[in-house]
Amino acid sequence: MRLLVVEDDPALSRQLAGRLESAGYAVDVADNGEDGQFLGETEPYDAIVLDLGLPRVDGLSVLRNWRARGIAAPVIILTARGAWTEKVQGIDAGADDYLAKPFSMEELLARIRALIRRSKGHASAEIACGGVVLDTRSGRVTVDGQPVDLTAHEYRVLAYLMHRMGQVVSRAELTEHIYAQDFDRDSNTIEVFIGRLRRKLGVDVIKTVRGLGYKVEEP
Amino acid sequence: MSADAARQREITGAVTGSLRFRLLAGAAVWIALALAMAGAVLSGLFRDHVARRFDAELTTHLNQLAALADTGADGAPVLRHPLSDPRFRLPLSGLYWQVNDTGGPRLRSRSLWDEALALPPDEPADGEVHRHVVTGPADRRLVVLERSVTLPGAPAPLRIAIAGDEGEMAGVIAAFDRVLWLSLGVLALVLIAAAVVQVSVGLRPLVRLRAELAEVRAGRKKRFGAVAPSEVQPLLEDLNALLDHSEEVVGRARLQAGNLAHALKTNLAVLANEADGLKPENARAVGAAIGRQVAEMRRHIDHHTARARAAAARGLPGIATPVADSAAALGRVMAKIHASDRVGDRVAVTVRVPREHVFAGERADLDEMLGNLLDNACKWARSRVEVTSRLEAGGMLAVSVDDDGPGLPADRRGAVLAPGVRLDESTPGTGLGLAVVRDVARLYGGDVRLSDSPLGGLRAELVLPVADGS
């Protein structure tokens, strides 16, 4: 899962990126509205964390521009403007959730998880397939009740495939959603991750669709 | 270049926009117009008068000439004695006479010297006087009056004519016009000077007002004290009301800022002590203490900002917010932000508020109160939240927020309205929501009531003043 954080305060931005990365997300950061809008329009994010008081272009305008251009990624507004009138403006501009500062990191994580889950059409916090259970709250994976130890990148690959369960995901799409923008990408490593995942899970849930990509479905 | 042009426009605008300029320009225009018209009329009247006097004088001479004309011994016309006016004997004096018979000029005044009046061909009937303008000696334009006289014993009637120089008349008229326009010009200047004085006296209260406003701005005076003319007095009273209002708002804002600072200093003191006492062994406990202080500081900030905002809007006339708009918008927000709390079953927010129920206050304050009530209701509801409203006696409006949650026992309802109280630590929230709602409602002269809901849960009822016309 790949996230965009648009936040101009460097300390908070660092905290957010660090905590979100340790929760298993690939994170891009923008510190002003102009860059944020550009990244949101050009990269396929699974969710966006947006501050409102941004330099150059304010957050509400960025959000309206995204929605006007058909960018449908779920957006959670994170701002010090906590009055209900401001929440109404944020939601009406196209936000999917609104969290006022100061906030607890755990609540933000829970809301991001829920947003991504809902945007991919899952009602439950746990996604299960053929004995493999992905708990989006804790970031843990079990096979038939036994925990499986995964690296951050392995977890991202599996989480993305399981959120898109039943659908074919191309290698390029997978690459875009597991790496942050400045990461040196090598699509061959996807094959390596898939191979390791199959070995660690021991269940044949990840299918190779020749010439197209991968798909998670019941064995 | 363009900046210069803009400044020029600004200066022109300032001049043409000033009351003094408008009044003076108006006065100057009507004074000039009135005096010009008077001058034209007077000059015309005088011109007519002079022309009539001139003709009358010539007629007198003509009658005298007719009386003196006679037939001589040889049958030729003669004058019994010369005409009385000496100018007839002075060469080229400007006053002439001449007597014609059918053959042409027979007698003429000495003033004509060696010329004769070239009378146009004419045969005036007996008793008629005809007027001509001809060119006479020295190329002067002459007014000629002539008539025919039939003398006893004469073979044919004679044409007798008197001529006067038109230039004499023009000279008199020009002299009169010079005096006339000069005196009218002086009169215009005097009237404009009077208008300047009048405008200055008339506008003096505004100048005084401006001086007073400068005093108010400088902080030497608190409000306008002087009594102004009846046209300006209402403006002064409104200004005073505005000053009172902003003074009150500033006072409240200062009070809120002071209260907030005081409250936060307590938390900061606790935080500083916790930081001093931080050791590896008690890190977890210190972290928890810091978390509690941060939550409390956040409560203080929410509380005081909501109060300060509401205080600023209160009492301003003409502010009206339809309850239905606010409730519907908040319903949309609840649908989004409470979707994350639950998996699967969502709470449905129903708004049944007539459009004509309008709250006499700021939209932001209504949003804040209703938002907190709806937020609480959505946290506790199983599946339904309803917003309804009805008018109450005394110009008040009751907006109810009902939920089908577990409800709240009557003996604990008073406690949740106190600042900082939170019933259930496991449900996220600051716990201050209801206290803020009550504070803001009371600032508007309303209140919050808690009771059992017909839906089975809690009913929170917001009592607020109604805007005129709802």
The verdict on B298 and B430 lying in the same domain is: no
Write down the residue that tokens 């933000």 correspond to.
A108
Neighboring chain A residues of B306 at a CB cutoff of 8 Å: 83
Q: In chain A, which residue's Cα lies nearest the Cα of B296?
A: A102
Residue B372 to residues B205, B206, B321, B349, B424: CA-CA distances in angstroms? 52, 50, 17, 14, 16
DSSP A47-116: EEEE-SS-SSS-HHHHHHHHHHTT----EEEEES---HHHHHHHHHTT-SEEEESS--HHHHHHHHHHHH
Residue that finishes a domain, picked among B152, B186, B221: B221
Residue that finishes a domain, picked among A88, A119, A150: A119
Q: Quick one: average pLDDT of A4-13?
A: 90
The verdict on A87 and A151 lying in the same domain is: no
Interface check for A82 against chain B (CB to CB < 8 A): the answer is yes
The verdict on A46 and A136 lying in the same domain is: no
Q: What angle do CA B347, A52, B428 make, to 5 degrees?
A: 35
Of the residues B309, B336, B373, B434, the best mutation for testing chain A's interface (the one with the most A CB atoms within 10 Å of its CB) is: B336
- The answer to whether the CB atoms of B340 and A115 lie below 8 A apart is yes
Q: Residue B1: which pLDDT band, with cuts at 50, 70 and 90?
A: very low
The verdict on B242 and B355 lying in the same domain is: no
pLDDT at B118 over 80: yes
Q: Identify the CATH number of the domain in which residue A92 sits.
A: 3.40.50.2300
Per the structure, the complete domain to which residue A149 belongs is given by 126-216
Neighboring chain A residues of B349 at a CB cutoff of 8 Å: none
Amino acid at B421: V
Q: For B124-136, what is each residue's pLDDT tens digit?
A: 877 788 888 888 8
Interface check for A102 against chain B (CB to CB < 8 A): the answer is yes
Q: For A165-204, what is each residue's pLDDT tens digit?
A: 888 888 888 888 888 876 777 767 888 888 888 888 888 8
Residue that finishes a domain, picked among B167, B187, B221: B221
pLDDT for residue B11: 56
3-state secondary structure of A138: coil
pLDDT at B291 over 80: yes
Neighboring chain A residues of B337 at a CB cutoff of 8 Å: 87, 91, 97-98
Q: For A32-77, what is each residue's pLDDT tens digit?
A: 999 999 999 988 899 999 998 888 899 999 999 999 888 889 999 9
pLDDT at B8 over 50: yes
Amino acid at A158: L
The verdict on B168 and B240 lying in the same domain is: no
The verdict on B288 and B347 lying in the same domain is: no
Q: Residue B429: which pLDDT band, with cuts at 50, 70 and 90?
A: very low
The number of domains in chain A is: 2
Residue that finishes a domain, picked among A102, A119, A136: A119
Residue that finishes a domain, picked among A119, A141, A167: A119
The verdict on A193 and A86 lying in the same domain is: no
Judge whether B226 lies within some domain. Answer: no
Q: In chain B, which residue's Cα lies nearest the Cα of A106?
A: B428
The verdict on A94 and A9 lying in the same domain is: yes
Q: Quick one: average pLDDT of A127-133?
A: 84
Neighboring chain B residues of A123 at a CB cutoff of 8 Å: 343-344
The verdict on A143 and A110 lying in the same domain is: no
Judge whether B470 lies within some domain. Answer: no
Distance between CA B149 and CA B71 in Å, rounded?
Answer: 11
Residue that finishes a domain, picked among B221, B255, B289: B221
B329: exposed, middle or buried (C-beta count within 10 Å: 0-12, 13-18, 19+)?
buried
- The answer to whether the CB atoms of B336 and A102 lie below 8 A apart is no
pLDDT at B5 over 70: no
pLDDT at B427 over 80: no
pLDDT at A78 over 80: yes
Per the structure, the complete domain to which residue B263 belongs is given by 233-313
Q: Residue B75: which pLDDT band, with cuts at 50, 70 and 90?
A: confident
pTM: 0.57
- The answer to whether the CB atoms of B367 and A97 lie below 8 A apart is no
Q: Residue B422: which pLDDT band, with cuts at 50, 70 and 90?
A: very low
Distance between CA A150 and CA A161 in Å, rounded?
Answer: 15
DSSP-derived secondary structure letter, B347: P
Closest CB to B343: pick one of A98, A111, A125. A125
